[in-house]
Amino acid sequence: MADEKIPTLVSRKSKKEDTVVQLGSRVFGGADFVIVAGPCAVESEHQLRTIAGSVARAGADALRGGAYKPRTSPYSFQGLKDEGLRYLAMMREETGLPVVTEVVDVAAVESVAQVADVLQIGARNMHHVALLHAAAATKKPIVLKRGPGSTVIEWLFAAEYILAAGNPNVILCERGIRTFETMTRYTLDLGVLPILREETHLPIFVDPSHGTGRSIAVGPLAKAAAALGAHGVMIEVHSDPKAALCDGEQALTCETFQALVPALRAVRLASG
Ligand code: PEP
Ligand code: MN
């Protein structure tokens, strides 16, 4: 990375101070450590209400949940789509938490943006330029996941597309890359965090859920992310992980998440 050129707009050379994304009372990218939590997928009104209420009481800063799900298999649950968006909007009203949800194609950008406080562009779509442009045009903050086969420079170029299109509110999210290792779903590349903090002014999040695929690894790696200066984490939580329609193996229970929140805040405080 030291030898490669960081694209202009995302580079710290073009903007010294950290970019901060204000969402109501929460600041993504400032000194606060922002915890985004919720299910992988919105499965039903009842499921989302149970989990949203629980993560709100536990002290989460934003609610995540996919209404449109990009799945590896066409036979897997693909999300509740517009029905899921309705439930997310209801939960924002009920909990007061801002909503982060994924948009998977250009045609859905408008309807997702009506509900989302933050649009998520998933790992599979990091290189989807038309989607980057359409999402940028909404002017909503965008969480941009790193593609599992993408270098940091490629990821920063994807962010550059959004900034160049006139939307400065990009939040990078490291979510694991493909390596030869099979004990974890992906290899969470935490080593890039100090380098990213140096090279870009954009907020940097970490997703230890997809990054490891194993619930047992999520808490420890979330703490590591907090210690390394990440601006926040995105964590999958489910009230009944074994029954989850999507990514149950990596979901924390509501109780485990509740215990993790103060531990993360303590790590952050201790790390300065
Ligand atoms: C997700 O956050 O639910 C998701 C699908 O993540 P990723 O794009 O990182 O696989
Ligand atoms: Mn998931």
Indicate the residue type of 53: G
Residue of 172, 186, 210 best suited for mutating to test ligand 1, as the one with most atoms within 8 Å of CB: 210
Q: Per-residue confidence of the chain (272 residues) as pLDDT tens digits?
A: 555 799 999 999 999 999 999 998 899 998 999 999 999 999 999 999 999 999 999 999 999 999 999 999 999 999 999 999 999 999 999 999 999 999 999 999 999 999 999 999 999 999 999 999 999 999 999 999 999 999 999 999 999 999 999 999 999 999 999 999 999 999 999 999 999 999 999 999 999 999 999 999 999 999 999 999 999 999 999 999 999 999 999 999 999 999 999 999 999 999 97
- Residue 123 CA: which ligand is closest? 1
SS3 state at 48: helix
The CA distance from 253 to 260, in Å, is 11
Cα angle 146, 266, 210 (rounded to 5 degrees) comes to: 25
The pLDDT of residue 24 is 84
Does ligand 1 lie within 6 Å of residue 128's CB atom?
no
Rounded-to-integer distance, Cα 257 and Cα 262, Å: 10
Q: Residue 24 to residues 13, 61, 99, 173: CA-CA distances in angstroms?
A: 29, 10, 11, 21
236 and 38 Cβ atoms separated by less than 8 Å:
yes
Distance 104 CA to ligand 2 centre (A): 14
**Cβ(104)–Cβ(132) under 8 Å?**
no
pLDDT of residue 107: 97
**Which neighbouring-strand residues pair with 206?**
174, 233
Which ligand is nearest to the Cα of residue 126, counting in written order?
A: 1
The residue ranges of DSSP E strands in 12-140, in sequence order, are 21-23, 26-28, 34-38, 62-64, 99-102, 118-121
Atom of ligand 1 nearest to the CA of 247: 3
Give the pLDDT confidence score for residue 1 in this predicted structure.
54
Helix (H) or strand (E) run with residue 85 in it: helix 82-95
CB of 146 closer than 6 angstroms to any ligand 1 atom = no
> In this predicted structure, what is the pLDDT of residue 25?
87
Q: Tell me, what's the pLDDT at 2?
A: 52
At 219 the pLDDT is 98
